[in-house]
Amino acid sequence: MPEKTTLEIEGMSCAACANAIESALKKTQGVASARVNLAAEKACVEYDPGAITRDGLVEVIRNTGYDVKQSKERAVLRIGGMTCAACAAAVENALKKADGVFFASVNIATEKATVEFDPTKVSRETLSRVVSESGYEMLGVEGDEESVSGEEDDDVRKMREARNRMLGAWAFTIPIMLWMIPEMFFGIMWPNHMVMNAGMILLAIPPLAIFGRKTFVSAFKAVSHGSANMDVLIAMGTGAAFLTGPAMFFLPVANYAGVSAMIMAFHLTGRYIEATAKGRASQAIKKLLELGAKTARVIRGDQEVEVPIEQVVPGDILAIRPGEKVPTDGEVIEGSTTIDESMATGESMPVKKQPGDQVIGATINQSGFIKVRATKVGKDTFLAQVIKLVEEAQGTKVPIQEFADRVTGVFVPVVVGIALVTLVVWLVFPEFMVGILLKAASTIPWIDPELGPVTLALSATIAVLVIACPCALGLATPTALLVGSGIGAENGVLIRRGEAIQAMKDVKVVVFDKTGTITKGKPDVTDVVLAKSAPEGSMSEDDLLALAASVESRSEHPLAMAVVGGAQKRGLTVEPPEDFQSITGKGVSARVSGKRVLVGSRRLMQDEGIDASAIEDDLRRVEEEAKTGMIVAVDGTVYGLIAVADPLKEDSKVAIAELKAMGLDTAIVTGDNRRTANAIAKKVGITHVVAEVLPDGKVQSVTELQNKFGTIAMVGDGINDAPALAQADVGIAIGTGTDIAIESSDITLVRGDLSGVVTAVKLSRATFRKIRQNLFWAFFYNVIAIPVAILGFLHPVMAEIAMATSSITVVTNANLLRRVKVTPH
């Protein structure tokens, strides 16, 4: 069975790097799919573990010239049972041999082991088992667990390093610029020609060799592995510019060594701003990671013991006081309270909780003391699932990006080719090219046609190399996805696939399931009506309800549960049925006290040859009131009907009206009869009704709606509607917090109301709009910038500023998504 893994990649600098890694992974045997996200610096890989291991994938990436960051955690373990140094050595060796452990040191004096390990391979439970198998006991984990390379720390480190490189480069570049001023404005080379040129060369060395070293190393790695990235262009441009310094002592060429330092300084400034903006874009995962509780109070015997959250296991009873975080997913077993679930659902109003209710880890207990039985821990919790989902979404691609990917795959080699052609054209046809410069010199003040032909040729070539920007193309989609998926997670909208964002812009109709989607999914008995065909005095309303409830007691359908609940509320006796049979989409039958009882629709009565005309008027009446009527027949005779109503969700009407205001049509697909479906559709404002659909007919109904209207989105509970959700162009699963069917949908809504559908549509449209804007800007910039550089209209430093601005513009525009109001009015 295929497995999925996410690898954090180090060393990528532009879209060409991401393409090289993705291409290498896709060519690897056993890899089903691979997506590399430049902005998130992650690779999402689906692979066959029988053909290749995770370590094998890491090796493929390293062979491509890049590295995979090993996530490390450090823990101090308390070890029991050790008596001498030999014991410590035994435990230490056992830990060191464990797969995923980087470092282990055991101190017999303190009886503690310090372990660094990969949390994706090794859990605390695994460490405990290793210690136990070596003949000793792990008593617990002490102190604060330190994340050696956590998500937040890593971004802070990258920004700090980028800042230091930028400041270091400017420390030498600013003196270069000040030294150039007398020559630029007064033609004075102070103190003389020789000293100034030598000084420029010496001052340019640190920005390139020290602070720009990473750029040259990245370029070398890319070229040595048969690919080319953005750093190759910068390395070639700055390298060529620097070499003019020593060359000017022997050749008729201007000294551009100082310019090379300026190019590198602006390049590193762009990298710093880009790293800062990317850090803001990836805040979603960090915020989610910060939400989790660090400790929990577990009831052991008659005492409360505070333990690290990693030691909580399913079945533990947790004590939670007002104001504390719920440590993990669980079920309330004692007490009542209100809980702030806004981190999970985006809903600001606290939710009441009492025994039997489910709670979500990392939410805030507000008003009462409760005891909770832990049901899910670690990677199985709701928060962990959300983090995983957001990471997967950020690793996906939008179809519109495919052309950009093809362009970036050949971008750098093409630019290098254009630069070489530029050099040749300027050297072979200097008069023609200088003639163009002379015409532009009157309007572009920085153009100097008086420079020698070799200098002009080098200037134009360097400008072409440094102005071309594959980064803008590569960052256009990932940064918008980073921000968009993060905003979605904050508002209870989990985007699972980037493709859904593009598909959503073309959606013409939003199709809703009825039960649990438009309605609350908690129906109740409203009417019990005796039929004229029933023998007079043979049965009361309570008798009819008790008989129907006895049959329905074996069914798990929501309507059946409503009938049973209605009987229990009246204090009626529900007898165990015999020969129970469920007739899909029609009803149920069974024997109760020797009588054969049928409860179901007209269709069931017709199939059984039972005349239901005596109850037809009453059935039509309840259906027109948006209720579901179930006919009850005993031994072939209709005795009456039971009407059940499922109340509408409070926001259904408002949400559907807002979808219409956005230009979307709406439809309902339900197994209910047409009158009930029409009545509900009329109440909430839905236009198209597809009724009396059997459970296995929903896919066909969705297909027919697609044929009729085009692209559609389907909203359902994500479990019963899974096939229909998969058939729709965009499947939206509507959940209730912990029980979310992720796999069947493109978008999952954490809350159970329809306002999330409005948010999903708005967010998808806004995100795609940013992606389209970014791609347009990236293409437009390169189409305009490269020809301008070829003609010599730009100084190399100006070209580098333009390139840095292009990347920054794309990332900044993506971050502007945060200003878009995506929540319903």
| Residues annotated as part of the active site | 513
Number of C-beta neighbours around residue 159 at 10 A: 16
User: 81 φ, ψ to 5°?
Assistant: 100, -5
483 closest CA partner among 278, 691, 781, 787:
278
- Answer yes or no: are the C-beta atoms of 778 and 806 closer than 8 Å: yes
- Answer yes or no: are the C-beta atoms of 456 and 427 closer than 8 Å: no
- Answer yes or no: are the C-beta atoms of 329 and 737 closer than 8 Å: no
Residue 84, class by beta-carbon neighbours within 10 Å (0-12 exposed, 13-18 middle, 19+ buried)? Answer: exposed
The span from the CA of 334 to the CA of 373, in Å, is: 9
- Answer yes or no: are the C-beta atoms of 158 and 273 closer than 8 Å: no
DSSP bridge pairs for 742: none
The secondary structure element, H or E, covering residue 371 is: strand 370-376
DSSP bridge pairs for 522: none
Number of C-beta neighbours around residue 388 at 10 A: 15
Q: Report CA-CA distances (Å) from 399 to 99, 403, 500, 778.
A: 39, 8, 10, 17
Cβ contacts of 650 within 8 Å, gap of 6 or more: 753
The span from the CA of 406 to the CA of 361, in Å, is: 43
- Answer yes or no: are the C-beta atoms of 117 and 75 closer than 8 Å: yes
Secondary structure of residue 330 in the 3-state scheme: strand
Task: Look up tokens 């309007």; give the residue.
Answer: 443
Q: Could you tell me what percentage of the chain is helix, strand and coil, using 3-state DSSP and rounding each to the nearest 5?
A: 50, 20, 30
563 closest CA partner among 587, 581, 584, 579:
587
Residue type, position 600, single letter: G
The span from the CA of 407 to the CA of 397, in Å, is: 15
Number of C-beta neighbours around residue 234 at 10 A: 28
- Answer yes or no: are the C-beta atoms of 824 and 655 closer than 8 Å: yes
CA angle 23/36/272 to nearest 5° reads 120
The span from the CA of 412 to the CA of 424, in Å, is: 18
DSSP bridge pairs for 140: 78
Cβ contacts of 424 within 8 Å, gap of 6 or more: none
Q: Which two tokens stand for residue 236?
A: 């070639």
Q: Report CA-CA distances (Å) from 123 to 68, 128, 310.
A: 20, 9, 9
- Answer yes or no: are the C-beta atoms of 105 and 114 closer than 8 Å: yes
- Answer yes or no: are the C-beta atoms of 761 and 656 closer than 8 Å: no
792 closest CA partner among 449, 413, 495, 376:
449
Residue type, position 625, single letter: E
DSSP bridge pairs for 598: 589, 633
Question: Looking at 71-149, which runs of residues are DSSP E strands?
Answer: 73-80, 101-107, 112-117, 137-147
DSSP assigned state of 380:
G
The span from the CA of 220 to the CA of 229, in Å, is: 10
Half-sphere exposure for 657 (CA within 13 Å, toward CB): 10
Rounded to the nearest angstrom, the gap between the alpha carbon of residue 235 and the centroid of all alpha carbons in its chain is 34
Helices in 27-116 by DSSP H: which ranges? 54-63, 85-97
